[in-house]
Each structure stands twice: as structure tokens, then as C-alpha cells.
Structure 1
């Protein structure tokens, strides 16, 4: 096969992997929601269908640069991804993960905040906020223009920050879990974490839900750092856990 054909195969393979990852992760947390918060997604079947359709388009958009970079890494040595643990000190493994998460969070904060300018919101970001309330299926529910801003960041980072392939896998896992759990409509993390010292800096569903309620605050993805620095952190959604519990209780009644 020609290099172009192999690149296309790699893009299709990565698209399939990303789509499957989305379906399994969002589907898994949607099932958890059904079991622990029955009735929370009641009446949202049409919305969930739209979330899945937009997300599968996003998987294609994410898969194109990911497939190109994967091919370049394996066949041309383009990237700084490494497989031998001896290439860098072991202490660098957690450092690289932290660097990727911080860089991704920084990119996400500023592009996300820009998406809330009226013109960009109408063109692209309104698709994501059409999920009212968001569900576990909304994690990748983006207009293609917005999906493109998210699709380039990790592929770009592998050219500038060295990372072991397993550490990169961990970054992608954290990205997936946080993306889904921040949108699923209830708080899976314990109260001591959400309302404790760690919760002052980490973003969970209680924090991101307030963004979906108020729109002009809480723009971060993993950390509250940029929101705090820029004065856009408006805290946690009030009575978020209580509201979820009420929905569960109403369904049971």
C-alpha cells in the first residue's frame, strides 16, 4: 500500500477507536446513571440521540489528526513519544502527565472562553449547550468547528513535550473520564473531595454544571486554576447533589 493509503487507514482506525471509546465510556456512565439516579434522563431521548450523532462526527474529526500523527510516529519517528522507560528518568513520567494536563487545560480554558463570544457561540458552541441538562452522552457533542479546536491539542503536544506511550494513554484516559463525568448530571466523587482542599483546584461535575447553568463562568476542564486567576470561577452548582437525589426519588415514587 502507498503511504497515502496507509495514512487513510490509520485515520479510519483512530476514528473507530475514538468512537468506540466514546460509546463505551459514555454508555457506561449513562448505565451507572440509570442504576443510581433512575429517572434523571427521563424525557431526554431526543436530546441524547442528537448528542450521540454530534459526538460521532466529533470522533471522525478527532480521528483524522490522531491517525496522521500515529502513522508519523510509527513510520517516520515524527513525534517525541517514546516506548523505552530508560529514555527519560522515571520521575519524568508523572511530570509529563502533569505538563500535558496543564497544557490541555490551558488551551481548553481559552478556546472555550472564546467560544462564548456571541458570534462564535452562535456558529459553533451552541450545539454543546443545546444539551439542557447535559448527560453522559454530551462529552463530545460538539459542532465540527469546535471539535476541530479540541482535536489538534494532544497531537500538537506530542511534537513538543516528550511522553512515554503509557503516560499518554493515562492522559487520554483522564481526558475521557473527566469529559464524561463532568457532564453526566450528578456528582460521582465523594463530598469530602469535592468540598475539600482538592476540590478547590479540581473540576468535577458540581463545578462544570454551574457553567451549563450560567454560561459565563467555570470554563476549565481539569483544574480551576485559570478560572481563579481570571475571576471566572463562580464555585459549585448550588444544591447539585440534592437536585440529583430529588430526581432519583421522584422517579422511584
Structure 2
């Protein structure tokens, strides 16, 4: 089916179908994180960049379920905005969709850095973000262990940016994948990339798994998500990051 056909079909869905689809989609994202992440943790357990986490507790599972439900609600809200013409999707493919994906990811990276910096200010930190840092030793599911206000904050930012200009539906779907991949890799607690790959020039700017793991160890550094650009620009990057990034066997 073409992108046009998929958009036309999505436009005919009823509210119950949209809610069910959003919930199923977010459950699938969570399942992918677990199914893809657990083998990576086992395979690269000799490259730990954070201590092994203890078994998940009840609060961790409750926060995970809450995040999945709230993310589903954000998806339903996005569909409603689209139905009312406030969020515009195109059927563009090819290089245009790739360019829109890149632009949208960079804009979100900048906004998420700013939001993350604000979340670490004392009062806001105690209000919400401190909860995520109560789990300093990450596992794949830690990606979903967030205060509800943070889930809604990210979702609201995402929808607000989407309402600014039309975007390819393929680019939007691609961003969902990009966000999941970076979030998952950043919460593995291991570094799957070999030294020869980590030394490539591109990984000076694209965040490696050890980048976000370093933030869990020291919350004052490595505030970015997809890139290291903003941390380098504003001086919040771990001073030892590049040394560890290029080391043959980075120490935990």
C-alpha cells in the first residue's frame, strides 16, 4: 500500500480503532526495546559502561506501564490534531523525506537538550526528573521509567513542533524509530560498538551508548540525546568522554 493509501485509511479510523492502534503501537515499541536490548546486553556484557542493575522493582514496572499508556495518549492526541488540520502530513518519499527526518531530529535534539538542562535545575529536578535518576544503573526498560510529567512534556513538545509545518509521514515514522534506537542504546549499560567504529569522526558528534550511560553515572554531564553538539557547545560534556570513547576497552 502507498503512503497516500495509508494516510487515507488512517483518516477513516474511528476513535476506538485509534486508541487501540496507539496502545498496540506503543506496546510494540516497548516489546522491541526488550527483545532487541536484552540480547545486546548479554552479548556485550564484557563492555559494561555502567554497573549491572538490580532486578526491577514494582515502582519501576508501574512507571513503565504508565509511560506506555501516556505515550499512547500522545499518539491519540496527534491523530486528533491531524484530523483537525493542525498537524499536517504529506506522502513525500525519497530525499525529501530523508531531509525532513534529519531536520526534525536535529530540532528535537536541541529542544530535548534544553528541556533536559531545565529538568536538572533543583526545583524541577525534585518535581519530576529525579525519579529517573533513582535508577542509575540502566537496563533497556529504563528508557520507559519516567515521571508522568516528563512523558507528557516530551509528547507535548513533539506535537508542538509537528504543528509548525507539514512533514512527511515517512519522516515522522522514521523519527519514532530514531528515538527508540537512541533511547534503547543509551540505556543498555554496555557499549556494543567496537573501538574502531567509536574512533570514526562521525561519533564525535553522534552520541554513542556510553554517552547517555555517562549521564546516569554523573547527572551533571552529557545532557544531549542524539548528538553531542549541544554539550560541546555549552560545556556540559564529560571531559573524559572522548578519551573513553576512543579507548580500546572503556572502563565502567
Query: TM-score category by the smaller chain?
Result: 0.7 to 0.9
Shift of 1:81: 1.0
Shift of 1:66: 1.6
Give every structure 1 segment of 4 or more consecutive aligned residues whose post-TM-superposition deviation is greater than 6 Å.
none
Structure 2 residue corresponding to 1:227, chosen from 219, 222, 231: 231
Secondary structure of the 2:232 match is helix
Give the structure 2 partner of residue 62 of structure 1.
71
1:151-170 pair list within 5 angstroms: 151-170=155-174
Q: Does 1:114 align with 2:123?
A: no
1:122-137 pair list within 5 angstroms: 122-137=126-141
Structure 2 residue corresponding to 1:80, chosen from 61, 83, 88: 88
Shift of 1:84: 4.7
Say if 1:160 and 1:56 are closer, same or farther in 2 by CA, change over 3 A. Answer: same
Q: 1:7-57: per-residue Cα shift (whole Å, max 9, x none)?
A: 46524531331132112223321233134428x78661135x544431221
- Cα distance in 1 for partners of 2:19, 2:111 equals 24
Q: Does 1:13 align with 2:16?
A: no
Q: In terms of mean alpha carbon deviation, does 132-141 or 52-61 score higher?
A: 52-61
Say if 1:180 and 1:106 are closer, same or farther in 2 by CA, change over 3 A. Answer: same
- Cα distance in 2 for partners of 1:137, 1:68 equals 24
In structure 2, the gaps of 5 or more residues are 1-12
Q: In terms of mean alpha carbon deviation, does 19-28 or 180-189 score higher?
A: 19-28
- Cα distance in 1 for partners of 2:231, 2:72 equals 30
- Cα distance in 2 for partners of 1:238, 1:229 equals 18
TM-score, normalization by structure 2: 0.81
Say if 1:105 and 1:158 are closer, same or farther in 2 by CA, change over 3 A. Answer: same
Shift of 1:195: 2.8
Secondary structure of the 1:139 match is helix
Q: Does 1:45 align with 2:49?
A: no
Q: 1:73-114: per-residue Cα shift (whole Å, max 9, x none)?
A: 2x44432211254xxxx4322221111111111111011111
Say if 1:237 and 1:229 are closer, same or farther in 2 by CA, change over 3 A. Answer: closer
Say if 1:238 and 1:183 are closer, same or farther in 2 by CA, change over 3 A. Answer: farther
Secondary structure of the 2:144 match is coil
- Cα distance in 2 for partners of 1:27, 1:115 equals 30
Shift of 1:227: 0.9
Say if 1:229 and 1:158 are closer, same or farther in 2 by CA, change over 3 A. Answer: same
**Number of equivalenced pairs:** 234
TM-score, normalization by structure 1: 0.81
Q: In terms of mean alpha carbon deviation, does 75-84 or 175-184 score higher?
A: 75-84
Structure 1 vs Structure 2 CA RMSD: 2.7
Q: In terms of mean alpha carbon deviation, does 52-61 or 181-190 score higher?
A: 52-61
Give the structure 2 partner of residue 206 of structure 1.
210
Give the structure 2 partner of residue 250 of structure 1.
none
In structure 1, the gaps of 5 or more residues are 245-253
Say if 1:76 and 1:239 are closer, same or farther in 2 by CA, change over 3 A. Answer: closer
